[in-house]
Structure 1
């Protein structure tokens, strides 16, 4: 077992990853900007990827470091994420870390990627610039309670009896359950066959965003939501619309929407050779996410 650092430990993926790693016997450091208020599993450590000087202490003695942060809610997210990734990779190399694990975004290198996906791809390279082998897991939409993309889907289905959506909503994507993302992230830790490699991860279903909304509505209420596709609804207008009918802010919505015109599906399955097992269907992913969302509301 290894000493592991998890950045973004209180985030959507991190708060599920930390207990999973602890359950596997790893010694986990949960890095957060407010360590004094951390209430999860593992050892809380203070650190901020945007403050290079704060990374030295959390990295000491660490063998595996997870990088699970991004700045989608910032207008200047590309520069901020590039600077943070470069600093993190340097700190990891200085500390003797032997593996960085990064959750990136799907999308072919030959595609016209959005700023969001282009930034994710840039971060992959910058994390490894100082010489630490990087294991990359590229995913599309991760379905789980608290995830921005899932919350958009859940709130649209919950709040609107019918929808008018832009043409990009017919683009195909390959959603994956949060449970499977965590399983893959844990499975590649310290795995010799995962060092310095890029893996594509996704569930078994290739769906358009319209189809995802329909399935979510059926799982939630047993009935479909009437959806009409229109040719003109710009990303800027779409982001304002999302901010109006969901609690996702316009900047984050715009950065996500810019990526939705790009088809993001899995083109290779090599992850299954390293971490065997069948991923959950989209419908099952939705069912689990809805249960978790309801449980959180009940606890609140």
Structure 2
């Protein structure tokens, strides 16, 4: 099978390409700047931008399945409009190239909720891609825990830089994070399961936590202590986004849409894919430990805690 990975230089895309190299599939990647991408010898690199029709279509030549891993939040301006335009361009090009299937990594959240602009944009991309002739498989995930994940980096920096936090009421909202390795495992699994074509699935790790739990458990793993968290009703997600700007180095173009999205519970309510795919899901604490070690190469308190728990 010939597989295309868009967004191949991103957090998820790079790991997916590495995993695909251990399969029998031919792999092509689409990147905006080939000069900054260091491909493996057996990976075909095509330069192009889905926002510029005519620049990226050669990447789809002979492709059976395309992974669509493109999100526009990290750029300036209206990311909702760019997401919509990029998805429309890709859907039309995939039609013209007779691509059989598109696999899209979307965001978890109940469609009945008043979705944040971030999650609403993800839904719009799902709908746009599905208007074409290719079958679309959608995987919806909440926070992906791993080194270089913007959402996890934001949580990690908040948890480790502030011993006391005054937070909005959203810290009580439920979330189901998932380890990056588990996301990659699901993305690979659907490739070889034809019955997943045209389906929408929810994926998450084994732990359902509040955002308060995410902060305290991350701090405990990283530093051995838990911060004091004081929720107050007058601090809205929008106001807290500016507070995040002061404490973390996550670009505002990423942080603000993510923070606005925390008003929506993001918990798996449909476990059909988990029943189809036999994956041993990674506990949140283990995912945090793996992310820190991948980022810094230093387990520190993390290894001590793991060793202590192993002797209990």
TM normalised by structure 2 equals 0.91
Q: What corresponds to 1:92 in structure 2?
A: 94
Aligned counterpart for 1:237 among listed residues 236, 239, 242 = 239
1:44-94 deviation digits (Å, cap 9, x = unpaired)? 210111112112111101111011111113331111101111111111111
Counterparts of 1:40 and 1:219, CA distance in 2: 34
Aligned counterpart for 1:292 among listed residues 287, 291, 294 = 294
Q: What corresponds to 2:264 in structure 1?
A: 262
Counterparts of 1:222 and 1:295, CA distance in 2: 17
Q: What corresponds to 2:36 in structure 1?
A: 37
1:69 alignment partner, SS class: coil
The 5 A counterparts of 1:155-174 are: 155-174=157-176
Q: What corresponds to 2:230 in structure 1?
A: 228
Q: What corresponds to 1:201 in structure 2?
A: 203
Counterparts of 1:274 and 1:63, CA distance in 2: 22
1:190 shift after superposition: 4.2
The 5 A counterparts of 1:72-87 are: 72-73=73-74, 74-87=76-89
Q: Structure 1, unaligned stretches of length 5 or more?
A: none
Q: Structure 2, unaligned stretches of length 5 or more?
A: 299-312
1:16 shift after superposition: 0.5
1:257-298 deviation digits (Å, cap 9, x = unpaired)? 1110111100011112332122111111111111111139xx
1:235 shift after superposition: 2.9
CA RMSD of aligned residues (A): 1.4
1:36 shift after superposition: 2.4
1:27 is aligned to 2:18: no
| Contact 1:64 1:190 (C-alpha < 8 Å) held by counterparts | no
Counterparts of 1:236 and 1:272, CA distance in 2: 34
Q: Which segment is superposed worse, 234-243 or 196-205?
A: 234-243
| Contact 1:193 1:274 (C-alpha < 8 Å) held by counterparts | no
Q: What corresponds to 1:62 in structure 2?
A: 63
Counterparts of 1:133 and 1:52, CA distance in 2: 22
Counterparts of 2:107 and 2:19, CA distance in 1: 22
Q: What corresponds to 2:139 in structure 1?
A: 137
| Contact 1:99 1:190 (C-alpha < 8 Å) held by counterparts | no
2:231 alignment partner, SS class: strand
Aligned counterpart for 2:113 among listed residues 111, 114, 127 = 111
1:197 shift after superposition: 0.4
| Contact 1:86 1:129 (C-alpha < 8 Å) held by counterparts | no
Q: What corresponds to 1:216 in structure 2?
A: 218
1:149-189 deviation digits (Å, cap 9, x = unpaired)? 10001111222222111111110010000000000001111
Aligned counterpart for 2:248 among listed residues 212, 236, 246 = 246
| Contact 1:139 1:202 (C-alpha < 8 Å) held by counterparts | yes
1:188-232 deviation digits (Å, cap 9, x = unpaired)? 114211100001000111111110111111111222111111112
Q: Which segment is superposed worse, 17-26 or 232-241?
A: 232-241
